[in-house]
Structure 1
Amino acid sequence: MLIPSAQTGLQKALLAIIAAGGVAPAEGADDSYIIEEIRAVGPGCPPGTFDFDAEGQHFVYDEMILWHPDPAGRTVQYTNCLTTIAIDVAEGIQVSVAHARARGHATLDPGIVARHTMKFFFAGDPSGAMSHTELTGPFDDDYDLSGQLSPGGEAWSTCGEPVVLGIDSSLQLNASHNPAGTAELSVDRLDMKIQARRC
C-alpha cells in the first residue's frame, strides 16, 4: 500500500543531518551516479548497529527492535531510523528508487498490533510516499514490506543535479488491548534498488 505523504519535518531533519557531516563516502556501482555519503540516525540505529553496502542498496539493522512488556511501562512504543543517501548525479542523468523491500520478524500475543512503515522522499521535494504493513496477534512469523518511491510508479530526481534521498523506517507496537501479553517486533534488513536514466 502506497500513500502520498508530505515530508516537511523529515526534510528539515534530513538537511540538518547532511549539514552535520557523516560517515565515510561510498562509491556507487553505476558510473552515471556516485553514492557520496550514507548516514543513519535515530533510536532504531544507534552508532555501531547499522551497516550498508558500497552501492547504497542493502542495509542491515542490528537493534531496530521493540519488546512488550516495556521496562518503562508503556503500552504503545515507537522507534525509527532515518537513513540519508547523498547522490552525485552525472550530467543528463536522473535517479529514482525502483523498489524497496524490508524484512523482519514479529511475535505477537492476541490483540497486540504491530506496524512497520517506510517513508521515502527527496530532500527539498514536498512529495514522497509511504508504504506500511500492519500485523495483529496472534502472530509468530517473518514478514516483509515492499514499496516504491511514488504511488503507481517512480519519482525521478531533477535532471543532472545532486540529490539526497531520505528513507525513514519506523516500528510501532501497540499492546493497549492486551497489556499483560508479550510481543517482539523487529526489522533486520532493507534491500533497495536505485535506478538511473538519461533525461
Structure 2
Amino acid sequence: MHTLLLILGLAATAGMVNAAPVTPPVQNQNLPNANDVYFSSVNYAGSGCPISPPSAVVTFAPDKTSFTVLFDQFVARTGPGVSYSEQRKNCQLTISVHVPGGWQYSIASADFRGYANLEDGVTGRQQSIYYFQGDQYTTVTQALIKGPTQDNYSFRDQIVLTSTSWSPCGEERPLNINTAILVNSRKKGASGELTTDSVDGKVVQEYQFQWKKCRSPLASAEAVPDPDAGI
C-alpha cells in the first residue's frame, strides 16, 4: 500500500528537535564524492512513527542517492469502538542532503507501499506535502482508496520541486516530507484499516538538479585591480 498524507498545518513541525536521527553507516568503500549530491541523514517523528522505542528503519543505497523507510506502526483504523485518534496517523521525514556549494536540489520521486482492508463505505486517503525548510513553496499530492477492498497497494509521487531560491554556498537545506494516512467511514458500523509499509526516496541529478559554481572570495579579490597599485 502506497500512502503518504501530509497536512499543511504540519509544516510548523519541520524543525522538530525530538525527531529520531538516522545517519548512513560510514563505509570507506561507499563514501560518496564530496562534489556529488546525496542524502546524509533522515529524521522521523509522528503518531505513525514514534521515536521511542524506534518504530522505523531507514536504509540507504551504497551511493546515498536513495533511501527506504520501513514502518511497523504506521496504521490508521476506523470502526466500532475505535477512537478518533486512531483514524489519522502521521509521520514527518526531515531529510538532510549533502549539496556542494552552489547547488540546488529536489526529490525526484517517492514510492509508497502498504495494505488496505476497507469495508464498503470506507475510504482511505493519503496526502503528501513536500517543502524545503525555510521556503514557503510546497508541493502537495493525494491518493484515495475506496472500499470494499482487501489488497496491497503501491503509489508513486513524481515530484517536480525545486527550491525557490539558490541555496547559499556551503549551506545544506533540509527537505521535509509530511505524511499522513486517514480512514473515514460513511456507513455506520463499517470498519477499515490502512497501513504504510515503506517510503522510498530517490535523487535523480539529471532531471532534478540545477547548479552553478561558487566564486571563491580569494579569487574574487585577486580579480579586482588595486587602485593604489604602482603609486
TM class, shorter-length: 0.7 to 0.9
Structure 1 residues 70 and 21, CA, compared in 2 at 3 Å: closer, same or farther?
same
Query: In 2, distance between residues paired with 1:188 and 1:6?
Result: 20
Q: Cα offset for 1:29?
A: 4.3
Rg larger for:
2
Total equivalences in the alignment: 188
Alpha carbons of structure 1 residues 42 and 24: separation in structure 2 relative to 1, 3 Å: closer
Return the offset for 1:10. 3.5
For structure 2, the residue ranges without an aligned partner over 5 or more in a row are 1-5, 213-231
Counterparts of 2:143 and 2:98 in 1: how far apart (Å)?
32
Of 25, 44, 59, 1:53 maps to 59
Cα shift at 1:81: 0.2
* 2:45 aligns with one of 35, 41, 51: 41
**Structure 1 residues not aligned, in runs of 5+:** none
1:15-74: CA deviations, max 9, x gaps? 2x2x55752533784642353432111010012111112335211111100223264444
Give the equivalent residue in structure 1 for 2:73.
63
Cα distance in 2 for partners of 1:20, 1:68 equals 28
Secondary structure, aligned partner of 2:104: strand
Q: 1:34 to 1:146 in 2, by over 3 A?
A: closer
CA–CA distance in structure 2, aligned partners of residues 139 and 76 of structure 1: 20
Q: TM-score, normalising length from structure 1?
A: 0.81
Please give the alpha-carbon distance, in whole angstroms, between the structure 1 residues aligned to 2:155 and 2:97. Answer: 24
Change (3 A) 1:70 1:85: farther
Please identify which structure carries the higher strand content. Answer: 1
TM-align CA RMSD: 2.7
Query: TM-score, normalised to structure 2's length?
Result: 0.71
2:96 and 2:175 in contact (8 A); partners too:
yes
Could you tell me whether the CA contact under 8 Å between 1:113 and 1:174 is conserved in 2?
yes
How much identity, in percent, do the aligned residues show? 22
Pick closer, same or farther for the CA change 1:80–1:22 going to 2, 3 Å.
Answer: closer
> Where do 1:172-191 residues align within 5 Å?
172-175=182-185, 177-191=186-200
Paired residue type of 2:55: T
The 5 A counterparts of 1:1-199 are 7=8, 9-15=9-15, 17=16, 19=17, 22-26=20-24, 29=32, 31=34, 32-47=36-51, 48-54=54-60, 55=64, 57-69=67-79, 71-74=81-84, 77-149=87-159, 153-156=160-163, 158-159=166-167, 160=169, 161-175=171-185, 177-196=186-205, 197=209, 198-199=211-212
Q: Give, in whole Å, the separation in 2 of the partners of 1:108 and 1:6.
A: 22
